[in-house]
Amino acid sequence: MVLKNIKIDVGRGEFIALLGPSGCGKSTLLRLIAGLETPDSGSVKLGDRDITHLAPEKRDVALMFQSYALLPHMSVFENVRFPLRMKNVLSKADQALRVNSALQQVQLENYGERYPRQLSGGQQQRVALARAIVAEPQVLLLDEPLSNLDARLRENMQIELKQLYQRLQMTTIFVTHDQSEALALADRVVLMNEGIIEQVGTPQDLYERPKTVFAADFIGGANILWINVNFNGNKAVGKLSDGSIVSLPNLLERKEGLQPFMVRQEAIQFSPRDEDVISLKGVVESQHFSGSVIKSIIRFGDKQISAVTSVKETPDIYGNVIFGVHKSDLIPLEIGSIK
């Protein structure tokens, strides 16, 4: 994947997620930081040091691979000790202290004599993490560290990874294609698409204020409404795909024509009464129960709209329904990427 005009400033002790679909360039960017690939142009800096052309072992960064890459013939203790041996740092006694401390951080202090084949997938993941942090690198790089785990274990490891980061406060950059994982773990999310950075922001920023159609659609459950915008004096008026004419919220840009807007699934209301809610008519085609919430699929003009509501707020019907969107929940978007 060719990366274009990539610029990221990561603060000391910050937890950054590189998020995006497969093939968008996030793993390539991680490998450039790790020194496993060299950029054709540009530079990689760690503090005041230019490390663009340094060998990986001289960068003071640690990379945890998606496959864990544990050495099967070595014990857990020796696997974790391996980076210290390769760098030839510390005495053997101090190396042992460092290894035991790393294993304690990942709650495997009693597993040092076991071998990778004797461990579960979650335990192997923890050993790989201990090996990554044992040398106390300035930057920890994680390449889809939870992707090989089942759903329940993955959720548990998210909590443990967040707690480990909070204890160590180590600058961390991790790659994931799972938006819920990025939102749950990161201080900031770098959303990538086809080799460029689509948007950078806190998880809340990206969820509540996406800039582009891609950002809105990739993160969270978003409905994209295309509205033909016109201005009547200072007031924006829109024509929707079903022919409805609606009053729009105040727009920062006075731009007319067909434009995309986002509304989150959970922002859809049934039988709205508030005067600031845009009321629309549709047809409920299907409903999907999911514990405390129900997802309703509404046919609206020539497209489908998803609405997620609590069980109590969901109409128990198929057929015609009035639903609405509060004006403040209608977010204008850019069509293309933010350059």
Beta bridge partners of 200: 190
If you search the block for the tokens 């503090």, which residue do you land on? 47
Please state which CATH number belongs to domain 15-208. 3.40.50.300
Query: What is the average pLDDT across 302-327?
Result: 86
pLDDT surpasses 50 at 303: yes
Percentage of the chain exceeding pLDDT 70: 98
Query: What is the average pLDDT across 117-121?
Result: 92
Residue 306 — very low, low, confident or very high, per pLDDT cuts 50/70/90? very high
Long-range contacts: 78-81, Cβ < 8 Å, 24+? 79/116, 79/127, 79/131, 80/112, 80/127, 80/130, 80/131, 80/134, 81/134
**Residue 80 corresponds to which amino acid?**
V
Q: Which helix (H) or strand (E) holds 155?
A: helix 151-168
Query: What is the average pLDDT across 64-88?
Result: 92
What DSSP letter does each residue of 61-88 carry, written as one string?
EEEE-TT----TTS-HHHHHHHHHHHHT
Query: What is the average pLDDT across 312-331?
Result: 85
Per-residue model confidence (pLDDT) at position 274: 77
Per-residue model confidence (pLDDT) at position 275: 77
Query: What is the average pLDDT across 89-106?
Result: 94
> What is residue 267's three-state secondary structure?
helix
Q: What is the pLDDT of residues 126-147, one digit of tens each?
A: 999 999 999 999 999 999 888 8
pLDDT surpasses 60 at 338: no
Residue 82 — very low, low, confident or very high, per pLDDT cuts 50/70/90? very high
Q: What is the pLDDT of residues 166-210, one digit of tens each?
A: 898 999 999 999 999 999 999 999 999 999 999 999 999 999 999
Class of domain 213-332 as given by CATH: mainly beta
Q: What is the pLDDT of residues 208-249, one digit of tens each?
A: 999 999 999 999 879 999 999 998 888 888 898 888 888 887
pLDDT surpasses 60 at 339: no
C-alpha span between 176 and 336 (Å, rounded): 23
Burial of residue 292 (CB within 10 Å: 0-12, 13-18, 19+) is: exposed
Q: Which residue has the higher pLDDT, 35 or 313?
A: 35
**Hey, how many other C-beta atoms are within 10 angstroms of the C-beta on 41?**
4
pLDDT surpasses 90 at 96: yes
Q: Which residue has the higher pLDDT, 290 or 213?
A: 213
Query: What is the average pLDDT across 102-113?
Result: 94
Domain boundaries, the chain: 15-208, 213-332
Q: What is the mean pLDDT of the chain?
A: 90
Per-residue model confidence (pLDDT) at position 192: 96
Residue 151 — very low, low, confident or very high, per pLDDT cuts 50/70/90? confident
Percentage of the chain exceeding pLDDT 90: 64
Beta bridge partners of 113: none
